[in-house]
Each structure stands twice: as C-alpha cells, then as structure tokens.
Amino acid sequence: MKTRPFILCLALLFLSSPLLADDDCDDPVAKWQPRENLRQKLEAEGWTVYRIKVDDGCYDVKGRLSGQYRAKASFAPASLTLMKLKLEREETNDENDADNSYGSQTWGVTPDTSESSAPRNGIVKGRPSVKVE
C-alpha cells in the first residue's frame, strides 16, 4: 500500500534528473570550437557580444540582442547550440536611452511632426518640413 507513492517519487526523481542536467554542457574539450566562432555566429544573428566566458562547461555570453534586449545565454562549446537564454528589456527613465546604438531608429522615415513643438531658438519660423529620400 505504501510502496506505490515511494515508487512514484522514485520514478519522478529519475525522470527529472536528465531535465535538471539539461543546462549543463558536457562536450569533450577536444571538440570545443573557439570563442571567436561563437562570437561571429552571434553577431551574424544580430547580437552585440560583450563577453564570452566558460562556466560549467558552457560558453556563457553576455550581450545585447536586436539592440533592445540585454541578453545572457549559454551555448554548448562544441556544437554552439543554445542551452539557455535570458532576455531583459532595457529599462531606463530616459527615452533617449532606449538603446545604446547611435542610429538604431527606423531610417528613411520622415519624423512625425504632429506632436512636436515649434522651435524656440528664434531663427527658424515654425516647424521645418523634413524628408529623407
């Protein structure tokens, strides 16, 4: 009667262990690819890589993804497969800091003038009309 829950717990324990171990990387060191390969792969995918370090047998990457998210990720060092990814949207009080890239806004779009105030510097009368071609 009491053996059933025990067996169930044991079965769950055995089932969960491979899942828990999933985050670890156990690629043989001889097969590891250089960090530079991972950096190039990520940059081609739109990452800005800040640093790559080795942690628990994985390549741990800190960087920025699509210019909008702070990203932390783990990759298997041999296959460069993504093991873990954590994204955080950049949070700042300053709208200007929404991301740290110079020219990240949509190019070639005429800025919306509807909500802009008229210039106050005195030499320009009224809001200029602006076109990007």
- Give me the 13-42 binding string for another protein, x by CB under 8 A, dash otherwise: ------------------------------
For residues 81 and 127, give the distance between their C-alpha atoms in angstroms, rounded to a whole number: 52
Distance CA 8, CA 43 (A): 46
- Interface with another protein includes 66 (CB under 8 A)? no
CA 114 centroid distance within chain: 34
Question: Which residues from 80-119 bind another protein, rule CB under 8 A?
Answer: 94, 96-97, 101-111, 116-119
Query: At closest approach, how far in Å is the CB of 67 from another protein?
Result: 10
H or E element, residue 86: strand 82-89
Q: What CA dihedral angle connects 92, 48, 72 and 82, to 10 degrees?
A: 150
Q: How far is the CB of 102 from another protein (least distance, A)?
A: 4
- Which residues of this chain interact with another protein, rule CB under 8 A? 94, 96-97, 101-111, 116-133
